A and B are shown apart, each in its own frame.
Chain A
């Protein structure tokens, strides 16, 4: 039987090759996605491990690599001497870390994709995690080391001079070396490294340190070291083992990049789904042919067991070979995604590609299991009835039967979906989760019922092709709809891809609109002073500088930090000036205004509604807030407001904020002009007053709004890139399915050619078939995408996320979907047109 299985494989070489191609595509989709995701994660891990390299414990907190909020704690440099004197300490070094701005050769600020440029002091061995690509560590007040990526992008080499803006005005430094952190390219994060004394003077921190790295003597466990150091520390300064520190950093990244990692995880799931559909679609086409062959085997006396063996051997051979090739193709795909993203300016940190065992197992499982499962269907058909019945059965096209077995789950899923979607759940996060679950259930229900509506949809989308009695359009439509299950499965991968594109664009559009509305509603300031890079903090004197400008009515500074709020976890916290904030910002109170802002005093806090919900806090109750350094305060909730754009999380009066967070710089300064001020001349004067303050820009209310609502740009580009990959994969799936379908109907094509069908008409027939399949997928995908978007935005209505029908994207999705259909048909159409009529007619 083994010989038979292998021989039949060889005999059906083309069929086997096309099926294998489908498996390869599916597996490549799954493995590529996971390799890409794992690579990003590994890069972050390597990054943090590198920054704490050689240290057993870390004193103080580091500037969060990807967070603009976290400000470094400050410890006296004398602490370093005292730690070095401790028994059990082998080495200790201090570091300054802050943010800076690098100026490019063209005089422009080096722009990162959303993350700040790190400024660090050089850590001598054994602590340095820097790997020098070229040159030496920085030495003296005029040298700097740049990260390899930025240097390459901006064309800086060792020995060149580069202008860098710190807390001090811009200064030129000589590039002493180029380095990278660990094995990772830091992607979006650029860095500049100075020697310690230079860094201390550049950041106004003489005699201070931000972090102390400590290595213990051999045999001293980090925990013991930590216990020894703790009593030496001033209040508010923490000591952690480096393992804890790395973990905390990763946690923070997860928080910051939650959308990214969550999205990538979701995409892994989508990849599995699409991959499985591409494979199942191709295999379902050869179902009748294989049922026939197996029934014939049965008729010739093969036992059920032997038939099963033959099927399993065939599936295992195709599945294993194609999955292995698919894994390789997946690695290639991951490499390609990264290259494409890099070329389009979206930098994500990366190391060499990471191939986890999990990826291999998952990819092969998808490839092998789907192939085997699809192989068992004809085996079951061929063996559970008498051989002759099976032979006859295999000649009849399979129609889906709306069996009770299927109706049950479909109704159940749809009902569950509706239930989830319409359930009113309290917290925003839960509501979002619930509606996403509802949306997924809707997708599954839609996929299950698609085969039953294929004939109707086929007639609808095929109408333009057969109007005026065009018989070939009619044939194309009948060919796609006479095998509804196959067509539905083939169309499904395209449907998923396009539905997601639509969903993402509606969702993002809605969130952007809501951010704009929120800013319009709350921001009454005319201008804001912000960091040039858009995210970093700015020197506090900015406020003082503009306060004296004539025409300026009010100036209010806002600081920002991340706090740990009891019950709500990591929460963005703003420090506001109660005396002036009312003139630049309108609180959108839940209920009546609780108190005059000016009355906000020490021990008071205002909560954004989501924080209040998560912490189960109400006005008048106490709430514990902790700083990253471990300082705690019990605050009384004085009011609850809604705002997800400018002041998410919570707001504290500045004096309270300063006690909790050791932070000198401010996040932004909001400016309100007097009603009679001349906007243009006042703006010019404001700008002039800021000449002495480095690294800041003035933005109008409108610019601020556009910037805030456009922030998700690069992550969005990443998702669109991945979704584009899905659509490409779906297209390749349709191409494979069309090729198989043509192969199966060789004789029919031969007869039509003999009856006078020209080559051009043959190509048209094949194209129309593929087009109809694609159009069905596009149509369901479009409807589904909009329904899901509606469900999810509906869950966020309270946040001002509005649902709008995205006409432009809808048109685009339809055009892309149809183009996929036309393109996918090209290889099969060319082959069909070249068919030799005589051998086609003789084809079995």
Chain B
């Protein structure tokens, strides 16, 4: 799947993102560099306005940095047109959004295979089965999103992100709309994806519990990485957040 199995999956170098001009300029990113290794599970934390969502969007090719470079595997994103970026999103990136964003008229199974269908690619039935079993929804594949709970919908969204075997899955506050029980189930599944299939995962969150599932935590503030740690317990995350601020 990767040209270089040991090299980083995503590289961001000296990333800057400015909105507006003159004195009203907002600096969302002020020179951020990151590398995401294969199979890593990284959480990006920070208060609102710290630039964590912008960083994720730039790394995922959903937004262009004002300065700096992004490589997705061997591909440099700068200079790619919309069509190329779209193809990269299709094949190399998976997304999980805060609001589940399933299509209401499609069944659960249809929602999962939607990215493959859009790309016009073959569906690997074994892989689909494995994902449905892994998210615990194989019995309910014919149901519509409206018949599922929020936690179940987000598990469908995770399966949808994994169906294309992407190089990296970006999750933007995936637990933001979930109760604590559903949150734990979902986070377990993220961790299993990392452990069982070596999925590279980036989790943007301000939930310390969510961040405690990651192997590596980046703390962002005012568009800069202020602190970086390895795995922490939820309690330690809270403490670190307080100290970083």
Contacts and interface: CB of A to CB of B under 8 A. Distances in A.
Interface in B91-111: 91, 95, 97, 99, 101, 103-106, 110
B82 interface: yes
B229 interface: no
A637 to B, nearest CB: 71
B233 interface: no
B63 A479 contact: no
A837 interface: yes
Interface stretch (A7-15, A80-88, A752-760, A787-795): A752-760
Interface string B151-177: 000000000100010000000000000
Range class of the A interface residue count: 20 to 34
A471 B62 contact: no
B62 A756 contact: no
Nearest to B88: A756
A751 B97 contact: yes
Given A475-B103, A478-B105, A748-B103, A756 B118 contact: yes
Indicate the member of A479, A755, A761 with the most B CB atoms within 10 Å: A755
A397 B114 CA distance: 22
A141 to B, nearest CB: 82
Contacts of B216: none
A469 interface: yes
Given A471-B118, A751-B97, A838-B57, A756 B105 contact: no
A449 B63 CA distance: 47
A746 to B, nearest CB: 12
B83 A759 contact: yes
A755 B170 CA distance: 12
B164 to A, nearest CB: 8
Contacts of A747: 99, 101
B27 interface: no
Contacts of B160: 755
Contacts of B82: 758-759
B97 A756 contact: no
A751 B118 CA distance: 12
B106 A478 contact: yes
B101 A471 contact: no
B30 interface: no
Contact of A758 (B63, B83, B95, B146): B83
A472 interface: yes
B105 A755 contact: no
Given A756-B86, A758-B86, A482 B97 contact: no
A408 to B, nearest CB: 31
A841 interface: yes
B62 A838 contact: yes
Given A754-B95, A759-B82, A469 B117 contact: yes
A837 B62 contact: yes
A393 to B, nearest CB: 13
Contact of A756 (B99, B106, B119): B119
Contacts of A479: 105
A474 B111 CA distance: 12
A479 B103 CA distance: 10
Nearest to B164: A756
Contacts of B91: 756
Interface in B130-158: 146
B89 interface: yes
A759 B110 CA distance: 22
B117 A471 contact: yes
Nearest to B113: A471
Interface in A736-787: 747-748, 751-759, 761
B13 interface: no
Contacts of A471: 110, 114, 117-118
A747 B114 CA distance: 16
Nearest to A833: B82
A759 B164 CA distance: 20
A757 B118 contact: yes
Contacts of A759: 82-83, 86
A753 B86 contact: yes
Contacts of B104: 397, 482
A388 to B, nearest CB: 17
Nearest to B53: A838
Nearest to A477: B105
A841 B117 contact: no
A837 B119 CA distance: 18
Nearest to B101: A751
Contacts of B115: 755-756
Contacts of B87: 756, 758
A610 B41 CA distance: 91
A838 B57 CA distance: 8
B191 interface: no
Contacts of A748: 101, 103
A761 B118 contact: yes
Interface in B2-46: none
B231 interface: no
- Which residue, of A754, A756, A761, has the highest number of chain B Cβ atoms within 10 A? A756
Nearest to B146: A396
A841 B63 contact: no
Contact of B105 (A470, A475, A761, A838): A475
A755 B89 contact: yes
A116 B158 CA distance: 80
B86 A757 contact: yes
A837 B114 CA distance: 17
A583 to B, nearest CB: 75
A752 B118 contact: yes
A482 B86 contact: no
Contacts of A751: 97, 101, 103
A758 B146 CA distance: 27
Given A471-B118, A748-B103, A755-B118, A841 B86 contact: no
Interface of A: 396-397, 469-472, 474-475, 478-479, 482, 747-748, 751-759, 761, 837-838, 841
26 contacts: A471-B110, A471-B117, A472-B118, A478-B105, A748-B101, A751-B101, A751-B103, A752-B118, A753-B86, A754-B62, A754-B89, A755-B90, A756-B87, A756-B89, A756-B90, A756-B115, A756-B118, A756-B119, A756-B164, A758-B83, A758-B86, A758-B87, A759-B86, A761-B118, A838-B62, A838-B63
Pick the 10 closest A-B CB pairs, nearest first.
A756-B90, A471-B117, A478-B105, A751-B101, A755-B115, A758-B86, A756-B89, A757-B118, A756-B118, A756-B115
Interface of B: 57, 62-63, 82-83, 86-87, 89-91, 95, 97, 99, 101, 103-106, 110, 114-115, 117-119, 146, 160, 164
